[in-house]
Amino acid sequence: MTSRERLEAALRGEFADRRGWAPEINDGVTRRNLEAWRAGKMEPLAPIDAPNEIDYALSNQIIGGDCLLRVTPYRTEYDDVEFEMIDEGAEIVNTVETPKGKLYSRTRKQPESATNFTYEWFVKGPDDYRIWQDVVERTTFVPAYDRVAEIDRKLAGAGIISLETPCTPYMDFVMWHAGVEPLMYQVFDHERELMDLFEVMHRKNLEACRIAAACPDITMVRPIEDTSQHLSSPALFEKWIRRHFTEMGDIIKAAGKLYVPHMCGHLADMLPIIRDMPIDGIEAITPPPTGNSPVTLARKVLGPERVLIGGIDPTRYALSAPDAFERTVRELLEEMKDDPRFILGHEEIQITAKPENIATVSRLVREMPLG
C-alpha cells in the first residue's frame, strides 16, 4: 500500500498493510535531513519508490513516515492593512497597522531548539481590541481550490492532505496573538469587551470554514485548536470555546468531511467534554510527561468510531535511551494492534532527537502486526 492508501484506510476504520505513522517534523529536522539525503550522507529508513517533490512529504519518506500535510484552501487578503517584520538579530519584531492604529509583537530566537518564542504579543489589552477588530473586518478569504488540487497531485501516494481552518478565537489569542497568561487577565478583567471581539472573529472564521467545507475531493479538516486544560479549564472551555468550536465543526461535518482538530498536551479532563462535540477524531494525543492523555484513555472516553492520531510523547525522541524508547513504542503498538482507526503520531520531532529513536519507530511500524 502507499502512504495515501494506508492513511485513508485508517480514516475509514479499515486495517492497512501496517500501522500508519503520521509524524510531525520540525522544520529544522526537515532541512537537515533533506540536505544530508541530497548530499548522499543519509540513507532513507525505508524504501522510497519515488521521492516526492514536496519537501515536507520527502522528509516523511526519508524517515519512513506517512505524510499528513496541512494545506489552507483559501488565500487571505487584506484591505488597507500593513504588515512588517523587522529582524533585529536575536529577536524579530512584527507589526500590523490599520487606519485605526498599530500593534507590535516581539519574538526571541532560540537556535538550540530551532524554534522561536514570542514573549510580547500584538493584543496586550482592551486598548488594542478596536485595532484588532479592524484587522479582522478588513480580512477576506478567497477560495484557492486549484492550489489544493495541485498540491494533492504532487503529494500523490506519499500521504494525504488535511485542510487548515482557523481555530476558535480564544485559542487564536492563546497561541498567536495575546499569549495565555496575558489573556487570563483579559478574560477576567474585560469579559464583555473581549466576548464582543471574539464574536466578530468567530463570524469571520465561519466564512473560512464554509470555504473549506466546499473544497472538492479532500476528506479531512484539521485546524490547530490545541485544546488543553493548561490553556483553559473545563469551565472556561464551556464558556469561551465550546459554541464556537461546535458551530465550525457542524459546518464541516454537514459537508461530509471529517473534522479532526489538532489537540495536544493535557486533554484528560477535557475528553468528557470533547466526546459530545462534532469531531471525528483528534490529532496529536500526547501521553505523559508532556501531556496527560495516553491514547488508550482517549479511546476509552471517545469510543471506537473516532480517529485517534498520536500516542508518543515527542520529547522521548530526544530524552529516552534507545532501549527504553523501543520498549515504550513496542508496548503502545501492541496495546493498539486491534484498533484500525489508530494512526501513530505525535507533536514535532525536534532537532535534538536521537536518530536511533526515529529509526526505531520506522522499523517497529513495519515489524509489528495488526489485528
Summarised one tens digit per residue, pLDDT across range 194-247 is: 999 999 999 999 999 999 999 999 999 999 999 999 999 999 999 999 999 999
Domain identity same for 31 and 100: no
At 116 the pLDDT is 87
Decide: 165 and 248 in contact? Cβ < 8 Å: yes
- CA dihedral (107, 29, 282, 160) positive or negative: positive
Q: Which three cell numbers stand for residue 1?
A: 500500500
Full 3-state SS string of 87-153? ECCCEEEEEEEECCEEEEEEEEEEHHHCEEEEEECCCCCHHHHHHHHHHHHCEEEEECHHHHHHHHH
pLDDT confidence of residue 4: 98
Is the domain of 17 the same as that of 70?
yes
The model's pLDDT over 279-310, given as tens digits with 9 standing for 90+, comes to 999 999 999 999 999 999 999 999 999 999 99
240 and 284 inside one domain: yes
Number of domains in the chain: 2
**Can you tell me whether residue 69 is helix, strand or coil?**
strand
Hey, what's the cell of 175? 497561541
Picking from 165, 164, 318, 171, the residue whose alpha carbon sits closest to that of residue 242 is: 171
Q: Which of 137, 163, 184 is the last residue of a domain?
A: 137
One domain for residues 179 and 270: yes
pLDDT given for residue 192 in this prediction = 97
How far is the C-alpha of 175 from the C-alpha of 267, rounded, in Å?
17
Same domain? For 66 and 91 the reply is: no
| pLDDT reported for residue 115 | 77
What cell does 337 get? 494492534
* Residue bearing cell 477588530: 133
Position 189 scores a pLDDT of: 96
CATH of the domain at 149: 3.20.20.210
Q: Which of 89, 107, 137 represents a domain boundary (last residue)?
A: 137
The count of C-alpha atoms lying within 13 angstroms of the C-alpha of 270, restricted to the half-sphere facing its C-beta, is 26
- Specify whether 300 is located in the same domain as 348: yes
| Domain around 89 | 80-137
Per DSSP, helices labelled H in the chain are 3-12, 27-38, 55-63, 129-137, 145-155, 169-172, 180-189, 191-213, 234-240, 242-254, 271-274, 295-302, 316-319, 322-335, 355-367
Q: Provide the 3-class DSSP secondary structure of residue 307.
A: strand
The DSSP symbol for 264 reads -
93, 111, 137 — which closes off a domain? 137
* pLDDT at res. 265: 82
Cell of 207: 466564512
**pLDDT at residue 181, rounded to an integer:** 94
Q: Is 85 found in the same domain as 69?
A: no
- Quick one: pLDDT at residue 111? 79
CB 314 within 8 A of CB 347: yes
Q: What is the pLDDT of residue 361?
A: 98
Q: What is the DSSP string of 320-349?
A: S-HHHHHHHHHHHHHHTTT-TTEEEEEEEE
Q: What is the mean pLDDT of each run of 10 residues along the chain (371 residues)?
A: 98 97 93 93 92 96 97 98 96 97 95 83 97 98 98 98 98 96 95 98 98 97 94 94 97 98 93 95 95 97 98 96 98 98 95 95 96 86
Query: Do the Cβ atoms of 277 and 238 come closer than 8 Å?
Result: no
What pLDDT is stored for residue 267 in this prediction?
A: 95
Are 70 and 113 found together in one domain?
A: no
CA separation for the pair 335, 21 (Å, rounded): 16
Q: pTM (2 decimals)?
A: 0.94
